[in-house]
Chain A
Amino acid sequence: MATFTPTVPAHRPVTSRGDRNNLPPIPGGGGDNRSDSGQPDYRTRLRRARLGLAIALTPILMLFVSFTSAYIVRQGLPTLDPNTNKVVHDWTPTPLPTVLFLINTGVLLFSSVTIELARRQLIRQVALQPVQSIPGVSLGTEIEFPWLGVTIVLGLGFLTGQWLAWRELAARGFFVATGPSSSFVYLMTGGHAVHLMGGMLALLVAGTTVILRRPLESRRIVVDVTAWYWHFMAALWIYIFALLEFAH
């Protein structure tokens, strides 16, 4: 690693002010575990990607926390009715297509299961890779079920379901500008759909790593991080659904 040649001074410097436990170098740095090629090793990359994801979820959470606070504030605001000159509340609850939303919830939760299976499948494959590379060692042909593909299909199914729900709302006469409640329904479900599309994009990237013959590890990192993101999206959807259903 480091190529330092210690030079011993005649007098011993005293440097401990503000940093008493300075001898020897204390652990606590990332260490970075770089291999000779300068690439950080696979475990480091996985850990770093997961850390990055956890941090990336924070602003998404803040976005929806902010929407929620606006939702609560807007519910309580009075307004003047120009026809009657009386102070009224203009918040009329939007009748949600609840059955459709429940089906969509089921689809999304099921996709959360399939992506978890995809994630675990890749963990197993990465773990077995060194064994399989030994000549003459065979572990039998493992059936590789395309969990990733199933997840993409289910994700598309959820988005289609959401689109049908918006059609349903429009058919009932509730558009974005109909009232504050309907504005928030479109805002929250739309915001969630956009974020889910980001997850779909990541899954497609994971798919292309197969075609581009990138190392299995790279694919695993993408799938692993996307799986956690996907679970977060499922939880976020349940939160939004509950908020719109019960807090109107």
Chain B
Amino acid sequence: MVAQESHGHAAPQGFIRKYVFSLDHKVIGLQYYFLALTAVFVGMFLSLLMRIHLVWPGASLPIIGEIKPETYLALLTMHGTIMVFFVLTTAPQGGFGNYMLPIQIGAPDMAFPVLNMLSFWTTFLAYLVMLSAFFVTGGAPLHGWTGYAPLSALQSAGPGEGLGADLWIISIALFCVASLMGALNFITTTLDMRAKGMSMMRMPLTCWSWFITAILGLLAFGVLLSAGILLLMDRNFGTSFFLPLGTINGQLTGHRGGSPLLWQHLFWFFGHPEVYIAILPGMGVASQLLSTFSRKPIFGYKAMVYAMLSIGLLGFMVWGHHMFMSGMSPYTAFAFSIMTMAIGVPSAIKTFNWLGTLWGGRVRFSSPMLFAVGFVSLFVSGGLSGPFLAQPVLDIQLHDTYFVPAHFHLIMGVAAIFGIFGATYYWFPKMFGRMMNESLARWHFWFSFIGTYAIFMPMHYLGMAGHPRRYSQLTEVTYLHPLMPLQKFITYAAFVTLAGQLIFLFNLFWSMFNGEKASDNPWEATTLEWTTATPPPHDNFGGHTPVVYHGPYEYAVPGAPHDYVMQTDPATVAAH
């Protein structure tokens, strides 16, 4: 335990202690954010290469050359892995959670700052190890982000399954350890470091989402770690946990008796909660933004909290819906199906409450709000295809077709990314002391929003028409010829959408130095981060501890001097 070093540390002076090995949660948060930012551009670049290959399989690209089938599978694996772990898990929780959680609950830092620093640098190491898989003999692994055995469990199974796959597993194991350290910090901080008056039910919904995400991570990452250890043993020590009797090139592998399904169970016991780890912080941010920019209290605060809790709980009981096609007993499949569809209930409660928050509000369509509304839109569009896939009978048809990537990209991929964008535009003034350019932000929004639908809506049709996913080249398959225009359209849309992201990149760095100076509370929001200086001082509140008198979303308050009441505003106490 790193208990003896607590947050009473003085502001560091040297560059190394201040910006590199910093104990300050704000610096660590930004480190996570920029790590995710590089990762998201790497991930997007990989997806672009895949899109090009799907439409022009013979094309020879500069530097990269022709994309071979195994290269395509490596791209697919690394795109998924980098996006899920190093973007969707890292940015919302590690980035914004680290930066904003202590400030929003009125704490001077995380509970264990040294552990927090270790957590980031372990993530960084994991990221380097993951990227290094591209550059070893055989290249990156082929087994997809889900690492299905036996492909992932045999060194000789394919070009990338040698050292590349070992590096992949080691990177994931390091990431597990880092996430566990982070989760430990988030939970302790939330439970033990809230300012006076900040009861659990007065926390902003963002804090609730980070707290619940941390609990999910705490329970899920240990299981992935265990699966990774078993996989490494199968690969390197000759054990047979996941490997049945089998041959490669006519030779017996020497393994027998293991079960690839055991890997699937362990992986998806982690994997399903993981998708909520990605999306829950987005839900928290969307709630925060919708309330702030509608100038209305969030509709049904308690319902929102309980909905998130039940989504988290149900998330641990539905992993079997990823395995309907694995020969599972129909009775088991039925149980998993019912549990999965039950998640629709808290999800619908959340959507209803978001719409209820918007209803009758004096909506200000600033750029963060656009992305929050975009989040709700994508969450609904992606969510509606969930109950389709949750039914074993329909899943038999749709499994391993483009319908599945369409579903999960909309709901956990791009929706979560919209949460990150919304959070960036919303908190940028607090983090860097300047506003982001609003017109560039709007351009970025419309590019991303329309582009996302243009990419992923047609994929539903591809899936329903029976176009399988994961294959490197299907251009010669006759029954898929009529679908080729749709595939081409998706690739063009991907080009345009990704180009749109450069607007964001430019806006981010340009505004850091040239943006309009931001006031302490530019959005007229109520939570604690807007009560302190911009950017916040080293101890967050400049030597005093805030005292909280109100819930987080007191907007449109009758009789108040402004239309909002800050959480720290004691006015009503004096008047009572």
**Residues in A lying within 8 Å of B, measured CB to CB:** 1-4, 6-9, 11-15, 17-19, 22-32, 34, 37-40, 44-45, 47-49, 51-53, 55-56, 58-63, 65-67, 69-70, 73-74, 77-80, 82, 89-91, 176-177, 180, 183, 187, 191, 202, 209, 214, 218, 221-222, 225-226, 229
Contacts of A53 in B (CB 8 A): 1
Not counting A6-B573, A29-B199, A52-B3, a sample of 5 additional A-B residue pairs whose C-beta atoms are within 8 angstroms of each other reads: A45-B6, A48-B192, A55-B183, A58-B222, A73-B259
Contacts of A40 in B (CB 8 A): 6-8
* Residue in chain A with minimal CB distance to B106: A29
Contact B188 A55 (CB under 8 A): yes
Q: Nearest Cβ in chain A — how far from B525, in angstroms?
A: 15
Distance in angstroms between the alpha carbons of A51 and B111 in the assembled complex: 10
Distance in angstroms between the alpha carbons of A3 and B539 in the assembled complex: 16
- Does B237 lie at the interface of the complex (its beta carbon under 8 Å from any beta carbon of A)? yes
Distance in angstroms between the alpha carbons of A178 and B301 in the assembled complex: 57
Question: Which among B49-57, B431-439, B558-566 touches the partner chain?
Answer: B558-566
Contact A60 B1 (CB under 8 A): no
- Does B548 lie at the interface of the complex (its beta carbon under 8 Å from any beta carbon of A)? yes
Contacts of A89 in B (CB 8 A): 257
- Does B572 lie at the interface of the complex (its beta carbon under 8 Å from any beta carbon of A)? yes
Contact A77 B258 (CB under 8 A): yes
Contact A56 B1 (CB under 8 A): yes
Q: Nearest Cβ in chain B — how far from A71, in angstroms?
A: 10
- Does B545 lie at the interface of the complex (its beta carbon under 8 Å from any beta carbon of A)? yes
Contact A49 B1 (CB under 8 A): yes
Contacts of A59 in B (CB 8 A): 180, 183, 218-219, 221-222, 225
Question: Which among B61-69, B238-246, B307-315, B463-471 touches the partner chain?
Answer: B238-246
Q: Nearest Cβ in chain A — how far from B213, in angstroms?
A: 14
Q: 11 A-B Cβ contacts within 8 A?
A: A3-B544, A8-B571, A9-B560, A9-B575, A15-B565, A17-B554, A18-B297, A34-B108, A73-B265, A74-B258, A176-B238
Q: Nearest Cβ in chain B — how far from A207, in angstroms?
A: 13
Query: Which of A14, A22, A40, A61 is packed against the most chain B CB atoms within 10 Å?
Result: A22
Contact A39 B8 (CB under 8 A): yes
Contact A56 B572 (CB under 8 A): no
Contact A14 B239 (CB under 8 A): no
- Does B368 lie at the interface of the complex (its beta carbon under 8 Å from any beta carbon of A)? no
Contacts of A67 in B (CB 8 A): 226
Size class of the contact patch on chain B: 35 or more
Distance in angstroms between the alpha carbons of A167 and B285 in the assembled complex: 55
Contact A80 B245 (CB under 8 A): yes
Which residues 408-430 in B have Cβ within 8 Å of A in the complex?
none
- Does B364 lie at the interface of the complex (its beta carbon under 8 Å from any beta carbon of A)? no
Q: Decide yes or no: A55 and B187 within 8 Å by CB, A6-B573, A74-B262 being known contacts.
A: yes
Contacts of B554 in A (CB 8 A): 15, 17
* Residue in chain B with minimal CB distance to A26: B199
Q: Decide yes or no: A221 and B241 within 8 Å by CB, A13-B572, A28-B199 being known contacts.
A: no
Closest 4 CB pairs of A and B: A25-B197, A177-B238, A49-B3, A39-B8
- Does B30 lie at the interface of the complex (its beta carbon under 8 Å from any beta carbon of A)? no
Which residues 210-229 in B have Cβ within 8 Å of A in the complex?
218-219, 221-223, 225-227, 229
Q: Which of A30, A49, A70 contacts B193 (CB 8 A)?
A: A30
Distance in angstroms between the alpha carbons of A48 and B192 in the assembled complex: 7
Contact A32 B544 (CB under 8 A): no
Distance in angstroms between the alpha carbons of A39 and B109 in the assembled complex: 11
Contacts of A226 in B (CB 8 A): 1
* Residue in chain A with minimal CB distance to B270: A66
> What 1/0 flags go to B179-210 for Cβ under 8 Å of A?
01001100110011111111111100000000
- Does B266 lie at the interface of the complex (its beta carbon under 8 Å from any beta carbon of A)? yes
Which residues 366-400 in B have Cβ within 8 Å of A in the complex?
none
Contacts of A214 in B (CB 8 A): 4
- Does B112 lie at the interface of the complex (its beta carbon under 8 Å from any beta carbon of A)? yes
Q: Which of B6, B221, B225, B568 contacts A39 (CB 8 A)?
A: B6
Contacts of B262 in A (CB 8 A): 70, 73-74
Q: Which of A6, A15, A60 contacts B550 (CB 8 A)?
A: A15
- Does B512 lie at the interface of the complex (its beta carbon under 8 Å from any beta carbon of A)? no
Distance in angstroms between the alpha carbons of A60 and B572 in the assembled complex: 47
- Does B362 lie at the interface of the complex (its beta carbon under 8 Å from any beta carbon of A)? no
Query: Which of A27, A39, A48, A60 is packed against the most chain B CB atoms within 10 Å?
Result: A48
Q: Nearest Cβ in chain A — how far from B350, in angstroms?
A: 16
- Does B18 lie at the interface of the complex (its beta carbon under 8 Å from any beta carbon of A)? no
Contacts of A11 in B (CB 8 A): 558-560
Distance in angstroms between the alpha carbons of A1 and B568 in the assembled complex: 13
Q: Nearest Cβ in chain A — how far from B89, in angstroms?
A: 15
Distance in angstroms between the alpha carbons of A28 and B245 in the assembled complex: 58
Contact B219 A70 (CB under 8 A): no
Contact A13 B239 (CB under 8 A): no
Query: Which of A15, A47, A48, A176 is packed against the most chain B CB atoms within 10 Å?
Result: A15
Contact B1 A222 (CB under 8 A): yes
* Residue in chain A with minimal CB distance to B227: A66
Q: Decide yes or no: A22 and B551 within 8 Å by CB, A15-B565, A39-B6 being known contacts.
A: yes
Q: Decide yes or no: A18 and B302 within 8 Å by CB, A58-B218, A70-B230, A79-B256 being known contacts.
A: yes
Distance in angstroms between the alpha carbons of A2 and B106 in the assembled complex: 12
* Residue in chain A with minimal CB distance to B269: A66
Contact A183 B188 (CB under 8 A): no
Q: Decide yes or no: A52 and B188 within 8 Å by CB, A11-B559, A90-B257 being known contacts.
A: yes
> What 1/0 flags go to B98-138 for Cβ under 8 Å of A?
00000001111001100000000000000000000000000
Contact B7 A79 (CB under 8 A): no
Q: Decide yes or no: A19 and B196 within 8 Å by CB, A12-B559, A48-B188 being known contacts.
A: no
Contacts of A91 in B (CB 8 A): 257
Contacts of A25 in B (CB 8 A): 196-197, 547-549, 573
Distance in angstroms between the alpha carbons of A73 and B264 in the assembled complex: 13
Which residues 247-289 in B have Cβ within 8 Å of A in the complex?
252, 256-259, 262, 265-266, 269
Q: Nearest Cβ in chain B — how far from A111, in angstroms?
A: 18
Q: Which of A6, A38, A44, A63 contacts B570 (CB 8 A)?
A: A6
Contacts of B230 in A (CB 8 A): 70, 187
Contact B558 A13 (CB under 8 A): yes
Contact B195 A29 (CB under 8 A): yes
Distance in angstroms between the alpha carbons of A193 and B13 in the assembled complex: 40
Contacts of B544 in A (CB 8 A): 1-3
Contact A28 B198 (CB under 8 A): yes
Contacts of A78 in B (CB 8 A): 257
Query: Which of B6, B237, B560 is packed against the most chain A CB atoms within 10 Å?
Result: B6
Contact A66 B266 (CB under 8 A): yes
Distance in angstroms between the alpha carbons of A91 and B256 in the assembled complex: 11
Q: Nearest Cβ in chain B — how far from A223, in angstroms?
A: 11
Q: Nearest Cβ in chain A — how far from B568, in angstroms?
A: 7
* Residue in chain B with minimal CB distance to A215: B4
